[in-house]
Amino acid sequence: MYLNSKDLNAIISEVSDFIRLKLIFMNRIGEVDKFLEQIEYPSKINKPKYNAKKTSKILIVGESEINENVIRAIFKDVGISRDRIETVLGYEKANKYDFINIQWNDKYGAILLGPIAHCTTSKANASSTISEIENCEGYPPIRRLISNKVLKITKSNLKTTLNLLIEEGIVFQNM
């Protein structure tokens, strides 16, 4: 099938928008390389700039349904030392937290996000703070803690997320 130049330009625009959104999504789940292979794009990306370390801290930010002692018990259950946990719990504390402090900071292995305000001190151009850090370079892998389709920190989604991070090789258990 051949297209006239007007139709071709319209399709090029639509496909470009689709690929852009797909790349953003695949980046969020850590599979950009697989997508680029799938579309047979000769990637210039070698490996992600993020390198998991066995001692990386896991930052948990947001209003929490569970207290810090329960969080520590969950970490212990999945084999991660309590000294690798950093928490900013509570809506007010989370809203004042400046995420810029962890950008390009290899001390952190992952950020787990619960409910926080759309606008915090870290938000610059995106529609929300979470979108801002998900779409900026230099942050460790980010996971939204979701329960019943809303951001919520619960025992089950925290444990599930930690196990997935371990399985994906993003976070290591203590030996």
Tell me which fold the domain 57-167 belongs to.
Answer: Rossmann fold (3.40.50)
Q: What is the dihedral of CA 5, 6, 11, 14, to 10 degrees?
A: 140
Domain limits, the chain:
5-38, 57-167
Sheet holding 85-89, edge to edge: 85-89, 57-62, 108-113, 142-144
pLDDT tens for the chain, 175 residues long, are 888 999 999 999 999 999 999 888 888 887 888 888 888 887 655 544 555 677 889 999 999 989 999 999 999 999 999 999 999 999 899 888 888 888 888 899 999 999 987 555 544 555 677 888 888 888 999 999 999 999 999 999 999 999 999 998 888 898 5
**What's the predicted TM-score (pTM) here?**
0.67
What is the token pair recorded at 45? 């990306």
- Give the integer Cα–Cα distance in Å for 111 and 142: 5
